[in-house]
Structure 1
Amino acid sequence: MPFSADEFKNSLSHFASGVTVVTFSDTTRAGGLTVSSFSSLSLDPPLVLFNLQKNIASHDPLLASGLFTVNILSSDQQELSNQFASGKIDKHELIQKLACDLGHNGAPFLNGTLARIECELEKQVDGGDHTIVIGRVLFAISDDSKRPLLYYRRNYYNI
């Protein structure tokens, strides 16, 4: 029974997820992108994963850097999610404007997040039009006083 790409995307939109921004720095520039496909993978060793679209400008620099930070956004960071999702904003300039600090792994991180998970690239796996990025966790910290930003059916929600 065939189905359209629109039907597939609409079905996937029914899965609520948290919102993350993955930040990185290659040898010349920092960058970042909004990612909703983030997931934990393993506790021992500590591994996480996310899916990275192959045709975006951040794909090759992020993988080449080998280091990245998963910033789990808090309920008041919807605008950051939109900025890092936009193809019209220079993410290097945005990171500089936000005055991002560098984490233990040397990658920039966003301030005021619900949590941050600093990683080094463990493995990359082909996933069709995406690359499945597996990161080994080097450091993690969270703020239990904050609430998450959620994404469901192409809209943001808070709990």
Structure 2
Amino acid sequence: MSLSHDEFKNALSHFASGVTVVTFTDMTRTGGLTVSSFSSLSLDPPLILFNLQKNISSHDPLLSSGKFTVNILASEQAELSNQFASGKIDKHELIQKLACDLGHNGVPYLSGTLARIECDLEKEIDGGDHTIVVGRVLFAASDDSKHPLLYYRRKYREFAD
């Protein structure tokens, strides 16, 4: 029995997820990308993970930077997610335009997010056409007054209490 890419992607679209933007700074530029494949990994030590597509321009700079911040987006930040997902927008210029503050790890973080998790790169693991990125958490902050931006069946969804 053969599984098509479309069948696989459609089945996966039925898993609701939060939306994050991972920001990073390499030697010369800042960058960021939208990531929905984010998860906690370990409490002791504090580790998180996400999957990074190998053929995107952010792949090598993010890994070579050795540090990054996971920005968990709030419900009103769908447009920000779209901007960081677009291949037509210079993410360095976008971060400059947003006037992001620097976190404890020296990486820009986005304002108005639900939470941010600042990390050092702990490990890279081959995952087929993706790299599984494991980060050691150095600092975390959150805003309990906000609701998450959710993604389900290829669309943003509203959080329902």
**Equivalent residue letter for 1:55:** N
What is the TM-score normalised by the length of structure 2?
0.98
Moved over 3 A (4+): none
Q: Tell me what 2:152 maps to.
A: 152
Instruction: Write out aligned runs for 1:1-150 (5 A).
Output: 1-150=1-150
Q: In the aligned structure 2, how far is the partner of 1:48 from the partner of 1:158?
A: 25
**Equivalent residue letter for 1:89:** I
**Equivalent residue letter for 1:117:** I
How big is the shift at 1:86?
Answer: 0.2
Q: In the aligned structure 1, how far is the partner of 2:85 from the partner of 2:114?
A: 18
Unaligned runs of 5+ in 1: none
Identity across matched positions, percent: 83
CA RMSD of aligned residues (A): 0.4
SS at 1:145 equivalent: coil
Of 2-11 and 33-42, deviating more is 2-11
Q: In the aligned structure 2, how far is the partner of 1:49 from the partner of 1:105?
A: 17
SS at 2:57 equivalent: coil
How big is the shift at 1:137?
Answer: 0.1
Unaligned runs of 5+ in 2: none
Q: Deviations over 1:76-129 (max 9, x none)?
A: 000000000000000000000000111000011000000000000000000000
Q: Deviations over 1:44-85 (max 9, x none)?
A: 000000000000000000000001000000000000000000
What is the TM-score normalised by the length of structure 1?
0.99
**Equivalent residue letter for 1:73:** L
Q: In the aligned structure 2, how far is the partner of 1:43 from the partner of 1:139?
A: 13
